[in-house]
Copies of this chain bind each other. A is one copy, B any other.
């Protein structure tokens, strides 16, 4: 015999093999945890760990009493890591640069205030900054910070550090929303990113909450050609 199946990773690998080889077909019910544990010669908890992991990945459907079956339409779950832009740039071996374009403390215009669910005249900080990779424009950041939630931001050194990094270190948050889309480059983006006039740009919009209040709203507009990739 080659190797016993005792670790949860090896159980997972064997189950995956049976799914990929269609030994267990989509929609089919697989043996229960106790039987698999007996077959593999390991504890039920070990099988449970493996199957739970695969269920979280969307490859199995599990229900109490009903048992475990191979997912019919494995919903592809693309897990995108969205790091701080500085790390994103440095991760590709390029040198990171940052330049604050403007910072102004004004009440947010109505549509921004509405999106951030704050009073129209509430104090807010508007930052526009450029991120560089090897001195070339990498992404344009347009950020609104809710000063009612993060008053300290008014005195933060945004000429030196990006809004994202300062907020991460200084403002707690509980959850957020992210949206990706494509837009035509507007004049400001064309100027800042030095891109040809009709350009399609990849943008990321993010809204960050602390409990029930919006901390910050940001739009990152990437230079032409940017792509977000992931494996699944």
Contacts and interface: CB of A to CB of B under 8 A. Distances in A.
Interface of A: 20-22, 26, 72-84, 87, 165, 168-169, 172-185, 198-203, 205, 210-211, 225-232
Nearest to A181: B227
A73 B84 contact: yes
A160 B190 CA distance: 43
A210 B231 CA distance: 14
Copies of this chain in the oligomer? 2
A82 B87 contact: no
A177 B232 CA distance: 6
B180 A180 contact: yes
8 contacts: A21-B172, A26-B168, A79-B79, A177-B229, A178-B232, A182-B226, A183-B200, A184-B199
Nearest to A87: B73
Contacts of A82: 75-78
Q: Which of A165, A179, A200, A228 has the largest count of B CB atoms less than 10 A from its CB? A: A200
Given A79-B78, A231-B176, A182 B201 contact: yes
A172 B226 CA distance: 31
A231 B231 CA distance: 19
B231 A177 contact: yes
A230 B185 CA distance: 24
Given A198-B198, A202-B181, A231-B175, A77 B79 contact: yes
Contacts of A83: 73, 75-76
A24 to B, nearest CB: 11
A37 to B, nearest CB: 18
